[in-house]
A = this chain, B = another copy of it.
Amino acid sequence: MSKTYTISDLAQEFGVTTRTLRHYEDQGLVTPARDGINRIYSPRDRVRLKLALRGKRLGFSLGEIRELFELHDLAGSERRQLEEFSVKLERRRTQLEQQREDVEVMLNEIRFFATQCQRRLTEADTPKAPVSDSAA
């Protein structure tokens, strides 16, 4: 009843190849239904794909992403799992906060570089000003 998608629909929408989608299925990230032999993706699959791609941008492995999904679907699990996962989450949070800082620093660096480049490109002369080393 709700909308469905073909493999190339989603591939195109998210800028990945169909191979990638099949690979993600192999890895258990999406579980499209079948129309005979053809894959049919649900809105849920679409959401998962979106989440998976975000995970990837953040450096999660496909395995880790699958773990997250599994734990998201967990609903009736046991204490042990939750405890383990709680620890994993904490580690990830620390990493993400580090990453947030990294991003800020890098954005500043890039802004600096960009203006440097721009200056050099506009005032196409006064050629001898070396670039400083921004260490720390």
Contacts and interface: CB of A to CB of B under 8 A. Distances in A.
Interface of A: 44, 47, 50, 54-55, 57-59, 71-76, 79, 82-83, 85-86, 89-90, 92-93, 95-100, 102-107, 110-111, 113-114, 117-118, 120-121, 124, 127-128, 130-131, 133, 135-136
A90 to B, nearest CB: 7
Contact of A133 (B58, B72, B103, B130): B72
A85 B76 CA distance: 52
Contact of A58 (B83, B102, B136): B102
B58 A121 contact: no
B117 A89 contact: yes
Contacts of A136: 47, 50
A72 B131 contact: yes
Contact of A86 (B71, B90, B102, B117): B117
Given A83-B121, A120-B82, A58 B89 contact: no
Nearest to A104: B100
A124 B32 CA distance: 35
A89 B103 contact: no
Contact of A110 (B73, B74, B96): B96
